[in-house]
Structure 1
Amino acid sequence: MIRSTTYSLVALSLLLHAAIFGFFYAWVCSTMWGLDAADPRIAIQAMQAMNASVRNAVFAPAFFGTPIISFLVAGLLYGQGVKRSAALFGAAGVTYLLLGAVLTMTINVPMNEALAQVRVPDDLETARTIWEEYSKPWQFWNITRTITSAAAFLLAFLGCFTLQSAKRA
């Protein structure tokens, strides 16, 4: 029998997966396009400000908590005999951890830290070069983590369907 606390943690896992996917997705379809269309001096300053503000108590649960809760759910479900759902939640946690969180920490964060050290030049062409050298690779890796966090969300979502099947059986 599946415990009610497990259902609550399943819901929390889905919510965190959706939140982090949505965060990365918003950068893909609005934030970076808007910055790319702006004066590159403004884009650099805006990105520096956004990167400085993202490390906060609202963002942290989705970024750091998603794999932790997914692994906790996987363990609880496995212990309650719902092995297929457990495997899907475990796979969701691994997918996000490696291709979302670790990718972010090893690629996007160092790029952000390097940009934070840039003094915004007065010269438009110099700023454009700096911005393009940052924006294009940053967006490639952001699209990668967006796709993989979507895949992680879908794995967790499938874990719910499997969980419902197990409940009926």
Structure 2
Amino acid sequence: MKTLTRPLCLISLLLNAALFGFFYAWVCSTMWGLDAADPRVAIAAMQAMNASVRNAIFAPAFFGSPVVLLITTLVLAATAQRGAMAWFAAATLLCALLGVILTMAVNVPMNEALAQIVVPDDIDTARAIWFDYSPDWQFWNQIRTIATGAAVLCIGLGITRLDPA
């Protein structure tokens, strides 16, 4: 079982880093760009992006990260690598609770509500819709970005605590 630890640690790192990077890109470019655009375009673009993200490329990072992190944590516990295990357990909690569950509880329902809106022709109505949506969505996205970034750091610290090969 100990031969599984390094590959599991690296897969955990890769998946969680992909998830962090996805959330981070929304923070530092996507939402700022949409906020600067015509709000009718922003609503339509966000609807399209939210519809397209449900795919086989994104699913492993989103759904796989907490699962692989938990498996890694359990393998580390079973191989008595307590120092590494503690960091991976922290990463598991951060990723699962503030990455995945927060997304499913807050961001996804906001996205689904936005998806039901017919993009109005009137720019003032569209602006009101967009600026009712965007600030709250961005706040929660920043929380999940910070959490998954912290999880990446925990994984890195856990890797440094692995027993020598």
Give 1:13-28 correspondences, 5 Å limit. 13-28=12-27
User: Which residue does the alignment assign to 1:2?
Assistant: 2
Give 1:16-95 correspondences, 5 Å limit. 16-95=15-94
Deviation per CA, 1:72-113: give whole Å up to 9, x if none: 111111111111111211110111100110100000000000
- Runs of 5+ in structure 1 lacking a partner? none
User: Which residue does the alignment assign to 1:116?
Assistant: 115
User: Which residue does the alignment assign to 1:167?
Assistant: 164
Per the alignment, in what secondary structure is the counterpart of residue 74 of structure 1?
helix
| Worse-matched range after superposition: 27-36 or 74-83 | 74-83
User: Which residue does the alignment assign to 2:137?
Assistant: 138
Q: Hey, what's the Cα distance between the residues in 2 that align with 1:31 and 1:121?
A: 22
TM-score w.r.t. length of structure 2: 0.97
Q: Hey, what's the Cα distance between the residues in 2 that align with 1:90 and 1:144?
A: 19
Per the alignment, in what secondary structure is the counterpart of residue 90 of structure 2?
helix
Number of residue pairs the alignment of both structures matches = 165
**After TM superposition, which residue ranges in structure 1, 4 or more long, deviate above 2 angstroms?**
none
Q: Hey, what's the Cα distance between the residues in 2 that align with 1:125 and 1:63?
A: 35
* Percent of aligned pairs sharing the same letter: 59
CA RMSD of aligned residues (A): 1.1
User: Which residue does the alignment assign to 1:151?
Assistant: 150
- Runs of 5+ in structure 2 lacking a partner? none
Letter in 1 for 2:164: K
